[in-house]
Amino acid sequence: MLAKEIGLAGALLALVITACFVRYSYGKIGGYTGDTLGAACELVEVTPLLAAVIYYHQG
């Protein structure tokens, strides 16, 4: 059951981070490019991992 909770939290956090990055990209350069899409993919990959590390580190 714990793995499902961590997965859900990681997915929601990745969604929030991606939304913030999209807003930043549109504000900074007025749209998106292939580089910004690649950066968004990397953010989506690493965010759940960081969420799990933080969760397990808290004890």
Tens digits of residue pLDDT in 1-52: 577 887 888 888 889 999 999 999 999 999 889 999 999 999 899 988 888 8
pTM score of the predicted model: 0.75
How many domains is the chain partitioned into structurally?
1
Q: Which domain holds residue 42?
A: 20-59
Question: Is 8 inside a domain boundary?
Answer: no
Contacts of 46-51 spanning 24+ positions with Cβ under 8 A: 47/10, 47/13, 47/14, 47/17, 48/6, 48/7, 48/10, 48/11, 48/13, 48/14, 49/10, 51/6, 51/9, 51/10, 51/13
37 lies in some domain: yes
Is residue 5 a part of any domain in this protein? no
- Confirm whether 25 is domain-assigned: yes
Cα–Cα distance for residue pair 45/36, rounded to 1 Å: 14
